[in-house]
Amino acid sequence: LHYKGGEHNPNEGLYEMEDDDGVGGEDGQKEGVGRVLPKYPIREVCRRENLPGVISVTLTSALWGGAFYTSFVWMATYMDVLLDPPVNHGFWVNALALFFGIVLVL
């Protein structure tokens, strides 16, 4: 980044406001010297500069949820009901894969 240009921070200086006493403002909550948290954090999240990050976090979690549903809910139904010939004990195979793949890994 040093060779390509300066760092882009759309919120630079937004939370580093100081009052006359140097502790913080009346429109936010105080956190240390010179730091002010916004009074309405949801309003700050919905700012135009923050929307790409919010959208990417939402889509990333939706991708994980969809992959989990496909792997451990739909796949058991597919193996037991739709596949010809069906996999014997497809739901148990899927339950064991869920147990070993997620529960033991954590």
Predicted pLDDT at 59: 93
State if pTM tops 0.85. Answer: no
**Which of 2, 39, 1 is CA-nearest to residue 17?**
39
Tokens of 26: 């009346």
Residue 90 neighbours by CB distance under 10 Å: 18
Per this entry, what is the length of the chain?
A: 106
Long-range contacts at 89-98 (CB < 8 A, ≥ 24 apart)? 97/72, 98/72
Burial class (CB in 10 A: 0-12, 13-18, 19+), 105: exposed
Query: DSSP of 53-105, one letter per residue?
Result: HHHHHHHHHHHHHHHHHIIIIIHHHIIIIISSSPPTTHHHHHHHHHIIIIITT
**43-86 tens-digit pLDDT:** 888 888 888 888 999 999 999 888 888 888 888 888 888 888 88
Stretch 17-27: mean pLDDT, rounded?
Answer: 49
